[in-house]
Amino acid sequence: MQKMNLSLCALALLLFGSLSSVHSRAVDIVDDSNDVDNSIEAESEEKPRGRPFEADWLKFTKSPPAKLQQAAGATLEIVCEMMGSQVPTIQWIVGHLPLSEIENLDSNVVSEDAASAIVRVRSVHIIDHMLSESRTYTCVGRTGSKTVYASTVVHPVRSDLGDMRMVREKQYPGPQKPRIIYTEKTHLDLMGSSVMLPCKVHARPRAEVTWLNNENKEVVQNHRYKVLPTGDLLISELKWEDMGNYKCIARNSVGRDSADTFVYPVLKEQD
């Protein structure tokens, strides 16, 4: 297969993947009845030094639903996916937040330094407790100077009492099967780069994480492949033969979950 440069890969992904998906429904954090354009544009359109793009870009590939109804005793998952330049980060905000504070919000997600990358990231927020009132959960994505966000209002289970009082808020007891809550669907980067593939897991008891490589064999750790204590996979000195699908598998005594990441090494552009 002919090696493509990063700009061509970005164009192909934009046309085939992220932007051809359904448009995100942006929900106002303060008033969930309104649709708003929640994308904060980069102030500068000049091409940053050492970057193959004219500006930072970030788009939802799967936005969270506007509203969800909680079911009694059931763990609820809110899914948020986005794709952009560099390595986008996603964090979740619980509760109402004035729109003016979004841009200045401090992120609790460590961003990987990969200025040449194009990445599609997936985050899942887990609600494993009974809500006592309706609550807003906001997915906030960032990359460089770009920020996008969308909110989901979750309505709790109501009791059978005639006064319709809400049930008491409490966490579900007992063990829970693993759920992979933070991973990358696609990661493109220049050959020679170091690539970190995240695999964050929600489980009780704690899950064991293993990785399968692009030949569907368990990753053997060496100077280029390392499974970190966090469960993330580090690939150093990215090579063309590293291209392919990598699978993160999380297991505990209750069950298992898995997630795939497609890695695409990109040929450096010639000056």
Is residue 138 located within the same domain as residue 78? yes
Task: State pTM to two decimals.
Answer: 0.78
**DSSP letter string over 66-110?**
SEEEPPTT--EEEEEEEEEES--EEEEEES---GGGTTTPPP-SP
Q: Are 76 and 161 within one domain?
A: yes
**3 state SS of 12:** helix
- Domain extent, residue 213, equals 174-270
Per-residue pLDDT of the chain (271 residues; tens, 9 = 90+): 445 555 555 544 543 443 333 333 333 333 333 333 333 333 334 444 445 455 689 999 999 999 999 988 889 999 999 999 989 999 999 986 655 555 555 555 555 566 778 999 999 999 998 898 899 999 999 998 889 999 999 999 876 554 445 556 777 888 999 999 999 999 999 999 999 999 999 999 999 999 999 999 999 989 999 999 999 999 999 999 999 999 999 999 999 999 999 999 998 766 5
Boundary residue ending a domain (143, 172, 201)? 172
Q: What is the CATH number of the domain that holds 99?
A: 2.60.40.10
Continuous segment of H or E residues that includes residue 16 = helix 6-16
CB 70 within 8 A of CB 76: yes
Domain end residue (candidates: 150, 172, 194)? 172
When divided into structural domains, the chain yields a total of 2
Would 1 be classed as within a structural domain?
A: no
**Is 182 among the domain residues?**
yes
Q: Which residues contact 106 (CB under 8 A, 6 or more apart)?
A: none
